[in-house]
């Protein structure tokens, strides 16, 4: 809860500062609101769904994720051009490197049989006597669960690869040094949806940049993982196994979501409705007695906000790709550093959506807050006029 609380506090302070600044009519006139209509439509449908749900108090409380949406507009207007974003990226990638190294140390501590002092477990946020009995241990870094680390690293790697592929300026060695531990840590989360998301992000980057070499590291990693007997190989091959237990469980969850949407097709059960009413829709063969999410963004949104909410949600992403793609094409070649940020944003969002076909990452506070900031980069670069400086 520490990271979620920190994000919520910072977001609240940013919203308050924005409202104070917008008291000035001149500031309001110049405030940019790209994607304003689809985001407003999604918020409106969410609140309407909450008001008409069977548990409106719970539903309105579960609608609190809407408070994250202003982060997108704050980032759009807060960064003064692509150079400002690049000035922040070393700090961001430094944090990614630290989180990745921490995750690697967690895995090492739980994989070894070497006796470690008690304080080591406390420092690494693991119970050594328990995690050494679990195979494989799934790295979670500073987060409470490996899914959040996987989703965060997916976005980071999409940005990092875009900078490496397109940035005109000299690529500092530390950028590659940040990517290697992040790539390894992503593998050690064993989050297959994040792996697929990274594949989708790299595919988008390859199409945008025409840098075929982007596929090479992933191809080599997959070949190495398949060639060497390990838990990683088992997990990787399980993605193509129709008899996989977790795959069957997801199908049961999606079936429950379909029946929820069928019973409330227009506005759904309301935010939080899955958690409240899942036992009524649970498939007889499903193992989980209760759940708060259905491991699929589309199914979850349709179940809780109906087809109207799903249409508004899809509108956000269609509008984003349309606008951001046009910005990418409009930025001239000499501004390749800005093109890198736009391409990284497009790849990160694509990877997020691919991963969201197998998990409800739209409901992961840390991941969606990060994504909302990254989504702002194309609109920040659109505003930048001069030739940007490189990443130092």
Q: What is the pLDDT of residues 325-379, one digit of tens each?
A: 999 999 998 889 999 999 999 999 999 999 999 999 999 999 999 999 999 999 9
Please report the pLDDT score of residue 60 as a whole number: 96
Question: Got the DSSP string for 150-179?
Answer: HHHHHHHHHHHHHHHHH--S---HHHHHHH
Contact 376, 81 (CB under 8 A): no
Which single residue is written with the structure tokens 């001069």?
386
Please report the pLDDT score of residue 3 as a whole number: 75
Q: 231 or 34: which carries more pLDDT confidence?
A: 34
**What is the distance between the alpha carbons of residues 7 and 356, in angstroms, rounded to a whole number?**
21
Query: Residue 389: which pLDDT band, with cuts at 50, 70 and 90?
Result: very low
Please report the pLDDT score of residue 41 as a whole number: 98
Window from 2-11, 70-79, 122-131 with minimum mean pLDDT = 2-11
Please report the pLDDT score of residue 298 as a whole number: 97
Which single residue is written with the structure tokens 């840390």?
366
Q: What 8-state DSSP symbol labels residue 132?
A: T
pLDDT at 386 over 60: no
Please report the pLDDT score of residue 257 as a whole number: 96
Question: Got the DSSP string for 328-356?
Answer: HHHS-GGGHHHHHHHHHHHHHHHHHHHHT
Which of 306, 307, 259 has the alpha carbon at shortest distance from 282? 259
pLDDT, one tens digit per residue, over 153-162 is 999 999 999 9
Window from 42-51, 115-124, 316-325 with minimum mean pLDDT = 115-124
Please report the pLDDT score of residue 392 as a whole number: 36
Average pLDDT over residues 59-82: 95
pLDDT at 199 over 60: yes
What is the domain partition of the chain in residue ranges?
Answer: 32-383
Cis previous bond, 136, omega within 30: yes
Please report the pLDDT score of residue 240 as a whole number: 66
Query: Residue 169: which pLDDT band, with cuts at 50, 70 and 90?
Result: low
Average pLDDT over residues 277-296: 92
Average pLDDT over residues 127-154: 92
Window from 232-241, 270-279, 377-386 with minimum mean pLDDT = 232-241
Q: Residue 220 has which token pair?
A: 């080599």
pLDDT at 391 over 60: no
Query: Residue 216: which pLDDT band, with cuts at 50, 70 and 90?
Result: confident
Average pLDDT over residues 177-197: 93
């Amino acid at each position: 809860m520490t990271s979620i609380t920190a994000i919520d506090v910072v977001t609240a302070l940013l919203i308050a500062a924005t409202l104070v600044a917008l008291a000035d009519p001149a500031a309001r006139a110049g405030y940019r609101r790209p994607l304003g209509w689809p985001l407003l439509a999604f918020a409106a449908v969410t609140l309407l769904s909450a008001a008409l749900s069977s548990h409106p108090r719970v539903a309105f409380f579960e609608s609190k994720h809407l408070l994250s949406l202003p982060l997108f507009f704050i980032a759009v207007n807060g960064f003064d051009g692509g150079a400002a974003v690049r000035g922040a990226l070393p700090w961001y990638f430094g944090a990614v490197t630290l989180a990745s190294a921490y995750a690697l140390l967690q895995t090492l501590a739980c994989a070894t049989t070497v006796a470690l002092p008690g304080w080591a477990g406390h420092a690494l946020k693991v119970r050594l006597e328990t995690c050494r009995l679990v195979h494989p241990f799934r790295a979670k870094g500073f987060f409470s669960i490996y899914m959040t680390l996987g989703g965060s690293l997916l976005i980071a790697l999409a940005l990092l690869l875009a900078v490496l592929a397109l940035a005109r300026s000299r690529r500092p060695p530390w950028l590659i040094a940040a990517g290697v531990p992040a790539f390894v840590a992503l593998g050690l989360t064993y989050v297959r949806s994040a792996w697929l998301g990274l594949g989708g992000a790299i595919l988008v980057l390859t199409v945008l940049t025409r840098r075929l070499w982007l596929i090479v590291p992933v191809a080599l990693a997959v070949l190495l993982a398949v060639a060497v007997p390990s838990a990683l190989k088992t997990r990787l091959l399980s993605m193509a196994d129709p008899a996989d237990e977790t795959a069957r469980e997801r199908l049961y969850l999606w079936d429950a979501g379909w029946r929820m949407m069928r019973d409330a097709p227009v506005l759904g059960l309301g935010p939080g409705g899955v958690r409240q009413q899942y036992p009524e829709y649970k498939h007889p063969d499903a193992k989980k007695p209760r759940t708060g999410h259905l491991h699929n963004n589309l199914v979850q949104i349709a179940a809780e906000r109906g087809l109207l909410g799903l249409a508004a949600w899809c509108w956000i992403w269609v509008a984003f790709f349309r606008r951001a793609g046009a910005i990418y094409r409009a930025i001239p070649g000499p501004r390749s550093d800005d093109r890198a940020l736009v391409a990284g944003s497009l790849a990160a969002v694509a990877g997020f959506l691919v991963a969201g076909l197998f998990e409800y990452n739209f409901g992961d506070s840390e991941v969606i807050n990060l994504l909302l900031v990254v989504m702002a980069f194309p609109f920040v670069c659109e505003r930048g006029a001069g030739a940007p400086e490189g990443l130092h």
